[in-house]
Amino acid sequence: MKFYFPDSQDQVDPSFDFHSEERSPFRVRQRDDRYAHEVLRPAPYDGLLVSKPIVDGLPGVSGKYTEAQRHRLYREGVNRFFRLEQQGGQLEIMGDCGAFTYVREDQPPYSVNEVIDFYQRCGFDAGVSIDHVVFGYDPELDASPPDVPAEWTRRQQLTLSLAAEFLRQHRKNQCSFEPIGVAHGWSPLSYAASVRQLQSIGYRRIAMGGMVPLKTPAIISVLCAVKEVTCSNTHLHLLGVTRPNHMRQFARCGVTSFDSTSPFVQAFMDERDNYYTLDGSHVAIRIPQVDGNTRLRKLIDAGKIDQRYARRLERNCLAEIRGYAAGHGSLSSAIEAVAEYSALLGDKKDRTQQYTDTLESMPWEQCDCDVCRDIGVEVVLFRGAERNRRRGFHNLHVFEQRMRRELTHPWERLD
């Protein structure tokens, strides 16, 4: 089972000083900042997924790449751009069209030739055909095909026709990347029908699209139906779906790869599961920067909070937590300092017990990843991109371990 991490240019600055909160004045982001596969050894994923809208944007909407980054990617290719040559050729790069970014449009914004040109010029190892997401899911429609919304059928057929054209152009141009067709549907049998047709077209690697909103039982139902029509040499990829506790079941249904940002974004987007451990997770301790918190900044500008007092509380939080982590401070003093600062920020959520659990456990001391060994307690502080992204990198490391552990357990007998 291979895990691909979707790229969104999330890097960290090795020169960042966690005590002074300063960077090297000589830092050049593209030259000096590091991807997760450069920070962690071994890399916490098997490959990267790069979406065309992230690079090139959409009509009227810019991508996440700067114009300079975009030109360099096309000029140098993905291997050099992501410095993959330093990984000994172990990481693969897959490209897709980011269908969820244009889901509300009537038609995909790219042509087949544009997408093939993107994959070929940039040197991708694999490329996903253009697809259009079906809006809904209703398994009961398997028993009443005439009730399927016309728009759902149109999008499924459009995706299949684009896949056929994509494979024709791929063969005509003798492209070097592996072609991947996309299956969309609204029920188990409609997904199975898509997979059957993609195989008849000639695809032997198929991405299951539009499944991100589905709950696990629905995903399993779809995969079980698809398994009945999948050829022995067909490999399935799950687009944007991650369920580590169900990896064995997915694998039995023919899934050999998937992609997801969940382990990374939970580090700073989730209310609870910010710092992964092998058997659970911890809440990160929120100590926002006085100058970086919009709400606090407004209160200071309005004269409702004294800036010097806020900074004193902020510094005290950091000192107490660092002192406790170093063994010469008390847990109660650290928790009290955080509570006082949180009250000033107007945070009405009482996280005292969660913070106590995090600090008492000292999970960073038990972790073997390069992030935790390098920055220690700073990894559990919810404070700015440099800490938050590193915590996301740590989560990728632990997620990969969780996945391998799940896959190496003895498989249960299939019913």
Do residues 118 and 199 touch, judged by C-beta distance below 8 A? no
Q: Which of 124, 211, 198, 200 is nearest to 163 (CA)?
A: 198
164 vs 297: CA distance, rounded Å: 55
Dist. CA 23–CA 42, nearest whole Å: 26
Residues with Cβ within 8 Å of 161's Cβ and at least 6 positions away in sequence, in order, are none
Q: Which helix (H) or strand (E) holds 403?
A: helix 384-408
Sign of CA dihedral 58, 62, 68, 72: negative
Which of 259, 279, 291, 374 is flagged as catalytic? Answer: 259
Length of the chain: 415
Residue with structure tokens 């691909």? 4
Spatial CA neighbour of 395 closest among 89, 45, 139: 45
Tokens 């092998």 locate to 278
| 110 contacts: CB under 8 Å, gap ≥ 6 | 52, 97, 130
Instruction: Give the closest residue to 158 by CA, choosing from 131, 180, 140.
Output: 131
What gap in Å lies between CA 162 and CA 131, rounded to an integer? 7
- Element holding 164 (H helix, E strand): helix 150-172
**291 assigned to active site:** no
Among 114, 121, 120, 125, CA closest to 49: 125
How far apart are the C-alpha atoms of 136 and 347, rounded to whole Å? 37
| Rg, the chain, Cα only | 24
**Bridge partners (DSSP) listed for residue 17:** 22
By the 8 A CB rule, do 36 and 304 touch? no
Q: Which residue in the list 7, 10, 96, 131 is annotated as catalytic?
A: 96
Q: Which residue has the tokens 């300063």?
A: 22
Which residue in this structure is represented by tokens 């809208």? 53
Active site residue 259: yes
Helix, strand, coil content of the chain in percent (nearest 5):
50, 15, 35
Active site residues: 96, 259
